[in-house]
Structure 1
Amino acid sequence: MEQRKRIRTLGSLALLAVVGSSGAQAAEAFSSGSKWMTGDWGGTRTELLEKGYDFTLDYVGEVAGNLHGGYNDDKTARYSDQFALGAHLDLQKILGWHDAEFKLAITERSGRNLSNDRISDPRAGQFSSVQEVWGRGQTWRLTQMWIKQKYFDGALDVKFGRFGEGEDFNSFPCDFQNLAFCG
């Protein structure tokens, strides 16, 4: 089972202030007509987007269970999660650079992975994981930091920095939590 919640925000402090307030900004929170979970903050988010600023706070939580089988077939479950802080900047709107953008994302993973001690033999390596947000160490990391420039009316994009190949190539929508199916 995988739960995904996307919170577009200026940062965790702003999120706490908006969710915790009872003014006009909080009235739009959790509205089915809003693009954002915590609302438009009285038009502030729309104004920031129009100026080229898009800030995010994302959360993904995954629960996996082993009912029978694997290296250790005791019935158990494991939970792992990931928080991500990000910024996507339209450099054309901000700096006047035609068809240019910048992205920054920092992630933090925590929890336990069912594959490590129940499904796979812990004495041997494994190729995949039943929880895709697990891996590369449970720590804060720079996940994305890139700049992209478009040329010839978008016919050619040049992207430089740190990013996953699935952002631009071989990408597909995925609703699985297994790392073999979704990375």
Structure 2
Amino acid sequence: MKKKIIMLLSLFLTMPAIANTDREWNGIVLGFEPPSKGIFGDMLGIRPILSNNGFTFNSNYLSQTAYNMSGGYDKNKHVAYIDQFAVTFNQDLERWTGIPDARIEGNIVNRNHNDDLTIKRTQDYRVLNNDQTQESAGGGSITRLGWLTFARSFDDRRLTWRIGMMNKTQEFDQTIPCDFQLRTLCGGKSANSLTWSNWNIHTWGTTLSYKITPALTFKTGIMEQNNKATERSHAWSWSTSGSKGFLLPLEIETHTFVNGLPGAYNIGLLYTNAKQKDLYKDKSYKNTWFMYAGMNQQLTQHKNDPNRGLSVSVSGSYHDERSNFMNYVISTSLRYRGLFDIRPEDWLGFGISYTDFSSHYAKGQKNKNKALNITDYKNPLYSPVATNALNAELYYRFKLASWFELQPDLQYWHNPGGIKRTSDAFVLGLKTTITF
């Protein structure tokens, strides 16, 4: 256990000393591009009018398609398709109230189709899902409130306070973008705790972030752990019904420079006082913990263009395997923006992720088989025993217009779902993004 903790901590502790903090940090090559001009432009002057009154927003359409070329648990061919519409908005209140940096933030997501190739074809349906062919799949066809919060700043904008119905992605684990279609390569690893959710699921909470220096930020907060937050009845609910306890996140994030090139690094610890059930033993625990870390560093600059070049990211998480079916997850990826002079805004990406499954989860599966006296893997009641899994993805993203991106990808699944009896799979994917 100590070796694994040290391995995760090393992602952060071996990072370079903070330097050149007087320089302007540019994260475009790391995957953090500014909002693109939408297909409707200024919307006949409506958008500038709203902006002049402090209201800004971004809206987009996303679709993700996946096709099982070969292998997997179910080899019958299937084209799976999901899509979503999302609106994220910000209302500046400072001009009306005089409160420094005061604002209302919101996010609304409409998801459709819920056609997930992972559970239909790629992996054995009898084991828990550690990855997805389409990272935005899940939750059904539904419109949800992702977050609605009030925020303001103190101490010359060094301290930021946020409160309301919130989501962790507003504040935590923001060093790696979500550009791959595989879930394990999409962003950081904080969601692997299984105690809070990504993107379009809200719970009550409040957070504080403090800039110790312009480049170094400390983040913390108290958030609700509510297992009912993912249910349809909670899509717009203000209720705390179903709350099991509170989450206490702690994170340190830095934006720095290495050899004159920008990088982002973070390490986080998440504690919850909610009761957790052991996956093997007939017992529960009063609390649990979770660790995550990430780094995203630009390696090269293409000619003299700071917005083109190669970057590398590494992220990992280490879990309490008594109650979490994953022991640890590690991912690494390479991204290149503007590889070809003729297409300076296109992206090329390649990533690999490795999941080691919990020994308690494996023992629990074996116990179920023993209790039912089942040894035949083909029996629908048999509980397969997960060990480890390795997934990889290669994509190329075409920036066809300021408002339109097309991203084909090829995925490789080794031991899908951690089951060695499931044949390795190749999946062809296509991701489409339209900005309005």
Partner residue in 1 for 2:82: 80
Tell me, yes or no, if the aligned pair for 2:100 and 2:154 is still in contact at 8 Å: no
Structure 1 pair 81–174 and aligned structure 2 pair: CA distance change class (3 A): same
For 1:45 and 1:94, the matched residues in 2 are separated by 19
Cα displacement string for residues 101-146 of structure 1 (whole angstroms, at most 9, x for unaligned residues)? 1112121211201101101222332122111111133311111111
Larger Rg: 2
Is 1:159 the counterpart of 2:149? The answer is no
Partner residue in 2 for 1:117: 120
For 1:71 and 1:175, the matched residues in 2 are separated by 26
Tell me, yes or no, if the aligned pair for 1:114 and 1:130 is still in contact at 8 Å: yes
Unpaired runs of at least 5, structure 1:
1-7, 9-33
For 1:79 and 1:63, the matched residues in 2 are separated by 5
1:100 corresponds to which letter in structure 2?
A
Tell me, yes or no, if the aligned pair for 2:56 and 2:91 is still in contact at 8 Å: yes
Runs of 4 or more above 6 Å deviation: none
Give the structure with the higher percent helix: 1
Tell me, yes or no, if the aligned pair for 2:55 and 2:90 is still in contact at 8 Å: yes
Unpaired runs of at least 5, structure 2:
1-34, 188-436
Structure 1 pair 147–71 and aligned structure 2 pair: CA distance change class (3 A): same
Cα displacement string for residues 64-101 of structure 1 (whole angstroms, at most 9, x for unaligned residues)? 11111111022322110111234311111344332111
Find the partner of 1:148 among 144, 151, 172.
151
The Cα RMSD (Å) is 2.1
Structure 1 pair 72–57 and aligned structure 2 pair: CA distance change class (3 A): same
Structure 1 residue 37 displacement after superposition: 1.7
Could you say what secondary structure the match of 2:172 adopts?
coil
For 1:117 and 1:35, the matched residues in 2 are separated by 37
Partner residue in 2 for 1:179: 183
Could you say what secondary structure the match of 1:148 adopts?
strand
Per the normalisation by structure 1, the TM-score is: 0.73
Could you say what secondary structure the match of 2:185 adopts?
coil
Aligned residues: 151
Query: Quick one: percent identity of the two aligned structures?
Result: 32
Aligned counterparts, 1:76-115, within 5 A: 76-111=78-113, 112-115=115-118
1:170 corresponds to which letter in structure 2?
D
For 1:161 and 1:137, the matched residues in 2 are separated by 25
